[in-house]
Chain A
Amino acid sequence: MKTVKRLLSYMKYFKMHFTIGIGLVILSMITDLGAPIIVQRVIDQVITPAATSGEDYSNVLVRLIAIYFGLTVSTVITRYISAIYRMRGANGIIKVIRDQLYTRVQELPIHYFDNLPAGKIVARITNDTENLRQQFYVATVGQILINVFYVIGAFTAIAFFHTGLALVLLLLIPLMYFWNKFYTKYARSFHREERELNSDINGKLNESIQGMQIIQAFEQEEQISAEFEETNGKWYEVMRKYVILDSSFQWTFADFLRRVSLLLLMIYFSTQYINGTLGISVGMLYLFGDYVSRLYEPIKGIIQQMAFVQQAIAAGDRVFEMIDSDPEDNPTDKMTVTQGRVAFNQVTFGYNEDKDVLKNIQFVAEPGETVALVGHTGSGKSSIMNLLFRFYDPQHGEITVDGQNTRLYSRQSVREEMGIVLQDPFLFTGTIYSNITMDNPKISKEEAIQALKDVGGEDLLQKFEKGIDEPVVEKGSTLSSGQRQLISFARALAFNPKILILDEATSSIDTETEEIIQHAMDVLKKGRTTFIIAHRLSTIQHADQILVLDQGEILERGTHDTLLTTDGVYAEMYEMQKKGQTIAS
């Protein structure tokens, strides 16, 4: 109920649309329900007298038909305008909700995304909201509301002409209620089962296509086919039951009830006639028949749409859960970086409470220095980068840049003077140019080209027909990983940060690319404090400081030469490599 209230509260953004929309719906309902009264008049004042007297009441007929025409035109126009306003309102609300979600996502802490696959977040911003649009703002607020108005309108009209009949028809309400309850109870559970099985089927299909070579190599075709058959069969069984329920209790049942009501209506008035007390005309009989029939259409609609409301509420819950997620704390003070001196002071950090991935880390990177981080998987190298960028904040200790505790300043201002090159460089859809500048108007095309040349990407400009304006498709998938690296290096260079973090690519790349990247890194390092998360020894031999990390602690530190003389872990690693080298040379 809370969710429904909140969903309704969004209508305030489009108050005018919904006021006009709903106001006109009521108007069109009145003119629409007025039309059968005219037919009743025609029957009673023209046709019945004509049948008995054979006289022609054309004056009355023309007048009544003219009124009928007026009512129809009015119904048509109001209905059309109302629909447009209501749907515009619904479309507009969804834009508001989508924008809110998207904006909120920008403010959520990075760890929010750790456990949530990208697909799920996308589904909330696009699919869940689409669901809300169609099933709440169009179906529920639109259709159900209209249908409720119609039911009330038809009842009022019947009561106006024949109170007794209206009272009897009131009995329909509890009947409808229980019918609805019974139907939705089963329909909902079938729906749920169907959705689950369906996503199972899709998952299995997808997985089988992707893993076909393996399935075939391991001769598991029979097994996979049998498993699929089983799920598919279960799905069919659910659908079969659903068809039974639907064929017996949905539209067929509504038709049944409508006809039974008509029958009872006929029996009731015929009996009154036989008893000599028929208080109504034939036209009225027609009118009641028409109204009773009209009662069922909206009721049928309400029952059909009720099934969707639940889905809309579930979608709304997911959407609001995201909108209500706490944004990360973010002070407004802006940090200014002049030198780029970075210090970690007794920093302890864990992604969750029970396990520290960094313990008491302490080091200083002087302006312009290159600091290399070395260590096994899980040693904490990447976590240092995450903390420096304030993607996460440490539990204990502080990180300072030029003596300022980064935690006390806005995250954006901390990042402004930092550049990053990720191991898997991420490119956005656009052009090479837009990817280097990230649409920053302060960076001119010439500067972008220069940056790309400086990191050794001149080839790229010549290779592509459009040079720097060459389009980049989703994730840059038409470019090689070396080319993507170069563009992301150029991006870092163009932004000219005081502090730079390079996360080396780990996967095997061919040697030529490797050399280009090595060169680019040398260019980038000049004049800035640089951190290298190293996966290759050759990269870091000239580093001013090498920090050897193990299980979140700094095990050794020093330059390449001093570390070799200490005969520790680093020296051991190096020796191992050297042995290989002697064979080669």
Chain B
Amino acid sequence: MFDVIFKLKFFFKENKWQYLIAFICLAISNVFAVLIPFIIGRIIDAIVTGEMNSDLLLTYSLQFGGLVILTYLLDFVWGYGLFEGAYKLQRQMRSALMRHFLRMRAPYFEKFRTGDLMARGTQDIRALADTVGYGMLVLMSATGFTATIVVMMGVTVHWGLTVAAVLPLLPMAYVIKVKGQQVDEAYEIAQKSFSTVNDDVLEMIDGMRVIRAYVKEADFIDKFKSQTSDLLKKNNRVSEISAIFGPTVKTFEGLSIMIALTYGSVLVVRGILSVGDIVAFQMYLGMMIWPIISVSELVLILRQGSASMRRVEEITHATDGLDLKGTEEAKTADNFVFDEFTFKYGGSEITNLDNIQLTLPKGKMLGIVGKTGSGKTTLIRQLLNQFPTGSGVFNMGTRSYADYQDPSLRRLIGYVPQDHVLFSRSVRDNIAFGKSDATDEDILTSIRLASFEDDLKNMDKGLDTMIGEKGVSISGGQKQRISIARALIKNPEVLILDDSLSAVDAKTEQNIIGNIRQVRDGKTTIISTHRLSAVKEADEIIVLDNGKIVERGTHDELVNDQGWYYDQFSKQEIKDITQGGDE
């Protein structure tokens, strides 16, 4: 349970002065806080016994006033120390996590879903920080403050009375803890129902047109109402359990006060205690409630903190299993050679690349075609160092690809992915992502090459148009073309298009391919595609099936072979009209 604190030892060590000062201030402030009722007790006694005079009043008032001001200042110091520390930790952990993400390659991101990484990177880190801020405060008051008050009661008033009055508060902590667990359980059930409602609404919005086309509005409303009824029932259950907390505290508090008054008056009759003692004691009891409740809270906070810690550690300790230790700097691209190259994804049952024999001479264009899942992307990913290297030979020039330093390889490659990834920034910044010192002229040239010119004209703010979440939404085809422009502006030695023209129409595709051929004369280009027209002009085309190269050659050769390529080509030529899927 306390492991979360031990695991964060590095952080407390780094900020040891801050925490030391905070804890000392907290401890002193606790002592001061309990001295105030003590002084009130003395003032009352002075009045009851008739000893009160101006001098005495002045002394007491100065002491009292001094304590009030000092307590306030101390409270500020430890409050700042503890809570600022929590936010500092939150910031630090988030940054560390981001840096970890940036170092990780594809296998890592396949292990965890984005939503999961996000939840851990935000909620769990916040929960952890709460443990460090509020949790520390609770820890201190549950232990330190309770002890201070008990000692004060015992020493200045009466030990017997203290034990008698404080004992009934202990079962209160227990009842609250048990009820707290029940609330958690009920809450989790309600939360599940809430998620269902959430999912249902999202599905309804996404499927709006289908619902309306099939006139199913009323059915969906009925279904939703029964969902919200279910949620209502579960929320009510949570309310019923949580409503018990306040009354429980009140019950035990009342019990404790009754004991204190009864036993207290007996002690006064015996002449052991004064009236002031009784008044002060009542005030101490009032101060005890919160620290005692916090004992049960502490368990919960620490448990949550530990769970969050585990979840965060899981993603910070996990790695992508890649070992990129090449040291040779890749100054320029060379021939790519695969020889008896075989690769399997971790956890995959089949061989994803099987005995690949392939030479791509520098400056030539390679076309990769094949069914979905045949290994096209897998082959390309080998060049990107996104997955572990397979077995067999994979060379650039005469050296193994793995010998080269990873960043220097990436510098040579321009990559256009299958799923268009753009960032929420302007069109300009998205394209200049490939070349940070690009001039507008460079950007416009690459836009022209990627056939995005007409689209740009329709954008109100031109290059400054924001895209993504905070800007305009653009179609899949437009995204693909911006991705292409981003890769082209880099003017890379090796350009890789991974089925990146699927959402543009045939005519535009031909334009882009034509432009690419023109500007990339003498530079290595790899195009993987479903649509064969995109690779017709390639120097070599390979057909992949189940990870194997099943056909290879130029377009004409493959057509002559009358194999899979020929089949596909005949079917596709007829179906394409000058229209893709830009909608």
Q: Do residues B236 and A91 form an inter-chain contact, with CB atoms below 8 A?
A: yes
Q: Do residues A377 and B579 form an inter-chain contact, with CB atoms below 8 A?
A: yes
Q: Can you list, as one digit per residue, whether each of A68-99 has a CB less than 8 Å from chain B (1) or not (0)?
A: 11001001110110011001100110110011
Q: Do residues B469 and A203 form an inter-chain contact, with CB atoms below 8 A?
A: yes
Q: Do residues B206 and A65 form an inter-chain contact, with CB atoms below 8 A?
A: no
Measured between beta carbons, the chain A residues less than 8 angstroms from B60 are 266, 270
- Of the residues B90, B250, B417, contact of A79 by C-beta under 8 Å: B250
List the A residue with the shortest CB-CB distance to B469.
A203
| In the assembled complex, A1 has its CB within 8 A of some CB on chain B | no
Q: Do residues B575 and A537 form an inter-chain contact, with CB atoms below 8 A?
A: yes
Q: How far is the CB of B286 from chain A (nearest CB, A)?
A: 7
| In the assembled complex, B386 has its CB within 8 A of some CB on chain A | yes
List the A residue with the shortest CB-CB distance to B215.
A412
Measured between beta carbons, the chain A residues less than 8 angstroms from B102 are 208, 212, 215-216, 221, 224-225
A228-B98, A474-B203, A507-B581 known; A209 vs B209 contact (CB < 8 Å): no
Contacting chain A: which of B219-227, B296-304, B331-339?
B219-227
- Of the residues A47, A76, A235, A286, contact of B268 by C-beta under 8 Å: A47
| In the assembled complex, A214 has its CB within 8 A of some CB on chain B | yes
Q: How many angstroms between the C-alpha atoms of A133 and B469 in the bound complex?
A: 29
Q: How many angstroms between the C-alpha atoms of A399 and B47 in the bound complex?
A: 96
Measured between beta carbons, the chain B residues less than 8 angstroms from A177 are none
Q: Can you list, as one digit per residue, whether each of A229-265 has a CB less than 8 Å from chain B (1) or not (0)?
A: 1001101100110011011100011011001101100
Q: Can you list, as one digit per residue, whether each of A408-426 has a CB less than 8 Å from chain B (1) or not (0)?
A: 0001100110111011001
- Give chain B interface residues in 540-583, CB to chain A under 8 Å: 559, 566-583
Q: How many angstroms between the C-alpha atoms of A215 and B417 in the bound complex?
A: 12
Q: How far is the CB of A111 from chain B (nearest CB, A)?
A: 12
Q: Do residues A223 and B216 form an inter-chain contact, with CB atoms below 8 A?
A: no
Contacting chain A: which of B258-266, B359-367, B445-453, B518-526?
B258-266
Q: How many angstroms between the C-alpha atoms of A48 and B276 in the bound complex?
A: 10
Measured between beta carbons, the chain A residues less than 8 angstroms from B36 are 259, 262
Measured between beta carbons, the chain A residues less than 8 angstroms from B247 are 76-77, 79-80, 83
Q: How many angstroms between the C-alpha atoms of A247 and B40 in the bound complex?
A: 26
Contacting chain B: which of A117-125, A151-159, A335-343, A444-452?
A117-125
| In the assembled complex, A46 has its CB within 8 A of some CB on chain B | yes
| In the assembled complex, B372 has its CB within 8 A of some CB on chain A | yes
Measured between beta carbons, the chain A residues less than 8 angstroms from B274 are 51
List the B residue with the shortest CB-CB distance to A124.
B201
- Of the residues B114, B204, B499, contact of A206 by C-beta under 8 Å: B114
Q: How many angstroms between the C-alpha atoms of A118 and B101 in the bound complex?
A: 28
List the A residue with the shortest CB-CB distance to B223.
A439
| In the assembled complex, B407 has its CB within 8 A of some CB on chain A | yes
Q: How many angstroms between the C-alpha atoms of A206 and B91 in the bound complex?
A: 17
Q: How far is the CB of A291 from chain B (nearest CB, A)?
A: 12
| In the assembled complex, B44 has its CB within 8 A of some CB on chain A | yes
A99-B224, A210-B421, A216-B410 known; A581 vs B570 contact (CB < 8 Å): yes
Measured between beta carbons, the chain B residues less than 8 angstroms from A491 are 214
- Of the residues B68, B199, B275, B436, contact of A263 by C-beta under 8 Å: B68
Contacting chain B: which of A163-171, A462-470, A572-580?
A572-580
Q: Do residues B577 and A535 form an inter-chain contact, with CB atoms below 8 A?
A: yes
Q: Do residues B577 and A76 form an inter-chain contact, with CB atoms below 8 A?
A: no
Q: Do residues A83 and B279 form an inter-chain contact, with CB atoms below 8 A?
A: no
Measured between beta carbons, the chain A residues less than 8 angstroms from B258 are 65, 68-69, 72
Q: Do residues A239 and B531 form an inter-chain contact, with CB atoms below 8 A?
A: no
List the A residue with the shortest CB-CB distance to B78.
A247
> What is the number of residues of chain A that contact chain B, defined by CB distance less than 8 Å?
154
- Of the residues A47, A76, A202, A573, contact of B278 by C-beta under 8 Å: A47
Q: Can you list, as one digit per residue, whether each of B203-246 has a CB less than 8 Å from chain A (1) or not (0)?
A: 11111111111111101110011001101100110011011101
| In the assembled complex, B109 has its CB within 8 A of some CB on chain A | yes
Contacting chain B: which of A271-279, A344-352, A559-567?
A271-279
- Of the residues B101, B231, B573, contact of A584 by C-beta under 8 Å: B573
| In the assembled complex, B442 has its CB within 8 A of some CB on chain A | no
Measured between beta carbons, the chain A residues less than 8 angstroms from B567 are 511
A99-B224, A255-B71 known; A270 vs B279 contact (CB < 8 Å): no
Q: Can you list, as one digit per residue, whether each of A361-380 has a CB less than 8 Å from chain B (1) or not (0)?
A: 00000000000001111100
List the A residue with the shortest CB-CB distance to B270.
A54
Q: Do residues A72 and B47 form an inter-chain contact, with CB atoms below 8 A?
A: no
Q: Do residues B57 and A271 form an inter-chain contact, with CB atoms below 8 A?
A: yes
- 10 tightest A-B contacts by CB? A506-B581, A247-B79, A580-B573, A72-B254, A87-B239, A83-B243, A508-B530, A377-B582, A536-B575, A211-B421
Q: How far is the CB of B382 from chain A (nearest CB, A)?
A: 13
Measured between beta carbons, the chain B residues less than 8 angstroms from A585 are 570
Q: Do residues A213 and B384 form an inter-chain contact, with CB atoms below 8 A?
A: yes
Q: Do residues B573 and A43 form an inter-chain contact, with CB atoms below 8 A?
A: no
A91-B232, A225-B99, A233-B91 known; A125 vs B201 contact (CB < 8 Å): yes
| In the assembled complex, B192 has its CB within 8 A of some CB on chain A | no
Q: How many angstroms between the C-alpha atoms of A339 and B533 in the bound complex?
A: 43
Q: How many angstroms between the C-alpha atoms of A72 and B261 in the bound complex?
A: 15
Measured between beta carbons, the chain B residues less than 8 angstroms from A479 are none
- Contacts A48-B275, A290-B282, A376-B578 aside, 20 further interface pairs with beta carbons under 8 A come to A56-B266, A80-B247, A87-B242, A206-B118, A210-B114, A213-B384, A218-B415, A247-B80, A252-B79, A260-B68, A266-B40, A270-B47, A289-B283, A382-B583, A415-B213, A426-B210, A474-B199, A491-B214, A506-B583, A510-B530
Q: How many angstroms between the C-alpha atoms of A125 and B578 in the bound complex?
A: 42
| In the assembled complex, B75 has its CB within 8 A of some CB on chain A | yes
List the A residue with the shortest CB-CB distance to B578.
A573
Q: How far is the CB of B199 from chain A (nearest CB, A)?
A: 7
Q: How many angstroms between the C-alpha atoms of A228 and B262 in the bound complex?
A: 63
- Of the residues B104, B205, B275, B411, contact of A212 by C-beta under 8 Å: B104
Q: Do residues A243 and B577 form an inter-chain contact, with CB atoms below 8 A?
A: no
Q: Can you list, as one digit per residue, whether each of B366-379 has a CB less than 8 Å from chain A (1) or not (0)?
A: 00000110000000
Contacting chain A: which of B81-89, B161-169, B181-189?
B81-89
- Of the residues A51, A220, A267, A416, contact of B48 by C-beta under 8 Å: A51
Q: Do residues A389 and B251 form an inter-chain contact, with CB atoms below 8 A?
A: no
Contacting chain B: which of A101-109, A304-312, A317-325, A524-532?
A101-109
